[in-house]
Structure 1
Amino acid sequence: MVTGEGGTPPTAEKTRCPVCLATAADGPECTNCRWTLEGPAALGSLTPEIRHAFDGQLATARRRLDLKAAARAAGYPGRGEPERLARLEALLRGGPPRSAERDQVLAELADELTATDVPAALPDGVVIEISPRGLRAVTVQHGAEQAEATEWPWTELLPGLPDGTDETLFCLAGGVGVRTTSACEAREPAGLPTTVDVLASRLRGWAVPERLLAGLARRFPQARTLYLPPERPEPGPLRHTGGFTTAVCRGAPDSDDVLLAGGGQDGTVTVWRLWHRAPLASQRLHDRRVTCVDLTEDGLSVVTGGQDGAVRLWSFAASGRVRVLAWHDGWVNALRQRDGVVFSLGDDACVHRTVLGAVGAAGAVLARVGWASATALEVTGDGRIVIVAGSDGASLWDARTGARTGRLTAGHEVACLALDREGRLVALGCADGVARIFDLGAARAARAEMGGHTGPVRQVTFGPGGVLATADDAGTVRIRDQGGTARTVGAHPDRVRGLAFTPDGRLLSAGADGLVRTWPLAGIHRSDSDKGGP
């Protein structure tokens, strides 16, 4: 006989499972949580002992369902967060779990990892991805995820969700807690693509997304269903009004924060703390376009160069003061701050050197590098060598005396360059769509190349373990891993203006359209201790 909350015979209305609150279908058990709804008829009176035993079983089943939801919401299986799990356990019906209950649930979830078949990359086609943020529809072409995407947050699909992040994730995972009405049911989003090739979920086993995924699978029967590794929820992408002209990111000292600084066409410079939607600070520093930007090591100031020829220091997180460091005759094409010294390269083919904190006027000219070498600039981490590049290749200069100490021959015009974290390798992004990697040792010969671009390489940066990332005028982003294998990881609809690895190893790109994106890098080693800039 089907029973309700306390064994009461059902009415004509739909019966809800007393454990998960889902609408109960005809059958001996709940199809959602497997609670027994129909058992053999029992003769005799309902004694207090029988009622007490039933109430105990019901309370245990409710607490177990909520505990499993809390564990999923806290990141289990995988990279779980014990602190979040402890907070979520306060929501459980029937009181906090016993340690044996917790251990059993976590062990059951851990078993799911062995059965997960994760693809190396999303297959081509129209993909609907389900994540802790909501639904997202995106097109994948030749392994590259396009930047244009349509998103539906859970707040749109599930009106009435709690305000807190913990409670929201708990509900998505199927937790009931203090709710006593009905299970969360997500509505199907409006404006879905007419054709979907892949249904990809990062929330395997989460009750609400699983029911939504089942509905989408019925609507798109030809779509392939995939389960991807879970990811920690993050706010939506950052945007810079009017688009980026340049961008850089750096880990903040003595903190897990990552700072992103970007400039625009109107001379405005904005600083964010990833992944906070509201800017940390914003100010117009140049009369015209911002052409280059760098963050100081202390995370308190930003150095900028502009089309107006000025190099400025803005103490956005300290005094708020703006100071002119140098003037170039023409655009400031590149700059870099190293150990309290700012080096800048302008259209006037001059490299200026300015010591921050020094009393006096703007910095002095360190070297005159020639008109053909006034495109890109880098400085070794110890501040001893300045590398400048342009149509005639790249040259090495002593950062104190201004004497030229060597050359790197690329055979093509160099549009950008980058040093690895150890200051041993330098990558030159060339006009023929190839990035050439040189060793700064005695030989200074090209040791590797990375191609695959259809136009000039405009952005290049090294990541953990020597991983190389590049981007071109078409917005294509590619990486070369530690083993030398190169592949495309994504695409912006416009030119990429900034490219960097975050301290924890994620690849970050900022486009001319103002969109900031991070790209998944399966198999790339991440270093939590690396706090360097791009």
Structure 2
Amino acid sequence: MQFSLLENFGPAIGGFATDREFNGACRVLPFPKLRVSRPYFVKVLEMSAPAPVPATSTDLLSLVRKSGVLDEKQFSEHFSDPGELPDDPTECANALIRSGLLTTFQARQILAGKYRGLVLGAYKILRPLGQGGMGVVYLGEHTTLHRRVALKVLPAKSAQERVAVERFMREARATAALDHPNIVRLHDVCQGAGVHFLVMELVEGKNLETLLAETGPLHFATAVSYIAQAAAGLQHAHSKGIVHRDIKPANLMMTKDGGIKILDMGLARSFVNESDNLTGALGEEGEALGTIDFVAPEQAMAQAVDERADLYSLGATLYCLLAGHPPYKGSRAQVLMQHQMAPPPQLSRTLKVNVPQTLNDVIAKMMAKKKGDRYQSADEVIDALSPWLPAPKSSSNVQQNALSTQDLREAGVATQVSRSQTKKGKKSKKRAAARADRKKWYAIGGGAAAVLVVGVLIAVLSGGKKAVTAEGTDAPGRSGTVSNRPAAAGEDSQLVLTSTGLVPDVTLSRDGTRFAAVDWTGNLIYGRTANWQKLESIRVQAGATLNCCAGTPDGRHIVVAGRGTPVFAYDWGTGQMVREFPGHSGSTLCVAVSRSGKLLTCGSDGAIVLYDFATGDVIRKYEGVARQVWSVAFSPDESKFVATTAAGGTDEESNQIRLWDVATGGELQRFTGHTDEVRWATFSPNGQTLASASFDGTVRLWDVAGGKQTRVIDAHAGKWAERVAFLPDGKRLASCGSDARNTASSELRVWDVATGQEVRTWRGDDARGLIAMALSPDGKYAVTGSRDKAVRLWKFAF
């Protein structure tokens, strides 16, 4: 059998090829393009001439069958009469794609007459995934087991070269010798008709080079987590006598669950088995193998390397993740010289977010010019990084459970436990236990330790610990003070993340399983509440200021908007943008979505718009409601909605709460009494009471049916009352307030609805600058956003 293989000459992305090709021999195909981040191109390496381009659907089906990719049983189920298919080959191919019988990639090749090579042994080639150091990588599927794998294929022209084949087989031997969750596994090595290919574990995710391009520099806690997992994989490889020799961001894959896997063993070799040394035999002598930006000095000088060369490259990779670029710049010769002579630049002097000096010191030691001055093993690297790693509850449940204060204290994590509270002997013992626990944790994959790509940080719980500030530096912190009685276990606040800008809104899904927040630098941050450690981030729009977010009641979508932006809806699971609505002129300040599929938006233009969420159609628009409308909310039965306003045309029209009927659009009530702008309003669970928060510092309760004020609570005297929300039983409500001129003057408070009496109050550093709040559906905790760029979780215990 003769093969026609495809070699990817563009960036390695998880998409499909465009309709443009290098060889110019193929016609442009009128396929609807799929969304890809950027185009990549394919070039055909032919061992024989392609078949004639199909002119009819019959011709196309003949080539599809010759290719071996068609499942005849599925074809018969979809098309009992092949005559039903369009006669035009392109339209016929589209029908096969829609039925799942062909992939877009397969259809493009067959339409161009290139049907050979779409099946290799027992595997169908579905599409290219990218290109490794020694070959092209395809998405493949076993023809009978239907298991998807990655197929790394040595190009046909390389298969004629002894050096290329030997290096390819060396990669197979190196990968086959390893079995570790942080290294991509090899299933099989195959050969047929002059084609060599490896059958490898399919890893769905993105490499860290791509991640950096999308998000910019990572927060140091995120980067350390990734590097520690890579070090765990390297420790396993080194224990087998194998050195990777090409560690870099592009060869570290972040999986969907936040784990890290080492890719591409194309340059790996055994430093204990001389039979694996191809240097002299195959012309590698004198070559500085590896990637110049991350290569160790001894590797740059083509000297013998051992595991310490990987540790140098891992240090350069850590620097790159933190800085957003490799440690050295210049021409190839200049970079090589700096690797041999120049220490890595101090990150804390070059970044907006400070990196602890001790972490700078760790990078400097990893990148020491002399091998003897570096850490001597990957285990030692993990030990050195341990102060910035969270300690798991246990290796068996790390992915299911978030950390607690007790976990951290029992683990003896130095950066999270007050040094004055433990004696020297006990502290040393606990630290040793923590290091051992972390090693075990990372050795089993450590996926749940990965944190958000824009600076998500699992933080420390309050109570005599150290907190991590928004700037990323270790700084003393104290827990919020609680009035009426001392704080009990479980009432501490937990830092969920620090962002790059003020966090004006947070939200939780109706079932409490999902979380989202937005910041003023244009980031949407989201994830599942089952594990606050694993969050994702999207840069919604460059230069945008995001103001608000809200989840759809079914938990499928998160809606966000801000200043000068449209209103976007994203898939809450995948992060894909699925809908777009017009934004308000100036700023969109609040959004809300009902169970029946209606979307409300309001903004600084004084308007309210009601949309059909599914179609994007405008149902109704309210203009001139006020000079600015701060918030909107649906009633529990969705028959009504409420809006809160700032100044109106007259004093009587200012600082109001207005109630409308959703079905008719008619106004039902106006609630007046606040003396300053009304920032927020929310319905009680039974829909009979309305609670509002105002910049006059008060929280007020209103009878919805009668339109009368029933209680005034002086909730945040001298401050702005920013948010208010009922707990699920309707008997208590929570509010947060802050002083824009003094962020230290801020608090989170809980009130008894019947009496207006304070139940709990949290103040202190953890409560600085609170401006957003969402309560969990079970009423056990609140999530807040702040001017201090932090999102915190507050546990309630009544």
What range describes the TM-score normalised by the shorter chain of this pair? 0.5 to 0.7
Alpha-carbon distance in 1 for matches of 2:737, 2:643: 20
Going from structure 1 to structure 2, the CA distance change for 1:498 and 1:451 (only over 3 Å counts) comes to closer
Please state if 1:389 is matched with 2:644: yes
Deviation track 1:377-435 (CA, whole Å, cap 9, x = no partner) reads 22112222121112321111122332211110123121222222222221111222111
The yes-or-no answer on 1:331 pairing with 2:587 is yes
Judging by fraction of residues, say which structure has more strand. 1
Return the index of the structure with the highest Cα Rg. 2
Q: Which of 777, 780, 785 lines up with 1:503 in the alignment?
A: 777
| Secondary structure in structure 2 of the residue aligned to 1:383 | coil
476, 495, 499: which one pairs with 1:241? Answer: 499
Find the counterpart in structure 1 of residue 346 from structure 2.
none
Whether the aligned pair in 1 keeps the contact of 2:496 and 2:793 (CA below 8 Å) is no
In structure 1, distance between residues paired with 2:674 and 2:486? 46
Question: CA deviation digits over 1:67-121, x for unaligned, max 9?
Answer: xxxxxxxxxxxxxxxxx99x99xxxxxxxxxxxxxxxxxxxxxxxxxxxxxxxxx
Secondary structure, counterpart of 1:265 in structure 2: coil
Partner of 2:522: 267
Conservation of the 8 A alpha-carbon contact between 2:506 and 2:517: yes
Q: Please state if 1:484 is matched with 2:749.
A: no
Where 1:299 maps in the other structure, the secondary structure is coil
Q: Which amino acid aligns with 1:305?
A: A
2:566 is the counterpart of 1:310: yes
CA distance in 2, matches of 1:478, 1:461: 11
- In 1, Cα distance between equivalents of 2:577 and 2:686: 33
> 1:164 Cα shift?
8.2
Distance 1:197 1:375 in 2: 33
Q: How does 1:58-457 map to 2 (within 5 A)?
A: 131-134=406-409, 151-152=416-417, 157-161=430-434, 163=437, 230-231=489-490, 237-251=495-509, 253=511, 258-274=513-529, 276-287=531-542, 288-317=544-573, 320-339=576-595, 340-358=597-615, 363-372=618-627, 374-391=629-646, 392=654, 393-413=656-676, 414-457=678-721
Residue 42 of structure 1 is matched in structure 2 by none
Instruction: State the 1:261 CA deviation.
Output: 0.7
Matched to 1:345, the amino acid is C
User: Aligned residue for 2:295?
Assistant: none
Gaps of 5+ in 2: 1-392, 398-403, 419-426, 442-463, 468-475, 647-653, 739-744
What number of residue pairs does the alignment pair up? 335
Quote how far apart the aligned CAs of 1:437 are: 0.9
The whole-number CA distance in structure 1 between the counterparts of 2:747 and 2:700 is 17
- 1:196 is displaced (CA, Å) by 13
Distance 1:267 1:197 in 2: 30
Larger helix proportion, structure 1 or 2?
2
Higher relative contact order (CA 8 A, sep 6+): 1
**151-160 or 465-474: which moved more?**
151-160
Counterparts in 2 of 1:157 and 1:374: CA distance versus 1, 3 Å = same
Q: Give how far 1:132 is off.
A: 2.8
CA distance in 2, matches of 1:227, 1:348: 46
> Which structure 1 residue ranges, 5 or more long, are not aligned?
1-83, 89-128, 137-148, 168-188, 201-225, 524-534
Deviation string, structure 1 residues 262-318 (Cα, Å, up to 9, x no partner):
111221111022253444432122341111100112222100111114211111325
> Taking structure 1 as reference, are residues 196 and 298 closer, same or farther at Cα in structure 2, changes over 3 Å only?
closer
Distance 2:657 2:465 in 1: 53
Change (3 A) 1:166 1:366: farther
Distance in 1 between residues matched to 2:513 and 2:773, nearest whole Å:
14
Task: Report the residue type matching 2:606 in the other structure.
Answer: A
How many angstroms apart in 2 are the aligned matches of 1:133 and 1:424? 44
Q: Alpha carbons of 1:267 and 1:363: their partners in 2 closer, same or farther (altered >3 Å)?
A: farther
Quick one: distance in 1 between partners of 2:582 and 2:428? 49
State the SS of the aligned residue for 2:729. Answer: helix
- Tell me the secondary structure at the aligned position of residue 495 of structure 2: coil
Report the equivalent of 1:475. Answer: 746
| Paired AA for residue 549 in structure 2 | V
Q: Distance in 1 between matches of 2:746 and 2:628?
A: 25
The answer to whether the Cα contact below 8 Å between 1:249 and 1:295 also exists between their aligned partners in 2 is yes
Supply the RMSD in Å over aligned alpha carbons.
Answer: 4.3
Give the direction of change, closer, same or farther, for the CA distance of 1:443–1:374 in structure 2 (3 Å limit). closer
Distance 2:439 2:601 in 1: 44
Change (3 A) 1:407 1:151: same
Relative to 1, partners in 2 of residues 1:227 and 1:475: Cα closer, same or farther, differing over 3 Å?
closer
CA distance in 1, matches of 2:478, 2:774: 31
Q: Which residue of 2 aligns with 1:463?
A: 727
Tell me the distance in 1 between the aligned counterparts of 2:737 and 2:522.
23
2:522/2:540 contact within 8 Å kept: yes
Tell me, yes or no, if the aligned pair for 1:294 and 1:303 is still in contact at 8 Å: yes
Question: CA separation in 2, counterparts of 1:447 and 1:441?
Answer: 15
Distance in 1 (CA, whole Å) between partners of 2:729 and 2:532 is 30
Give, as a single letter, the amino acid of the residue that structure 2 aligns with 1:302.
Answer: I
Cα distance, 1:352–1:450 mapped onto 2, change above 3 Å: same
**Residue 513 (str. 1) matches residue 785 (str. 2):** no
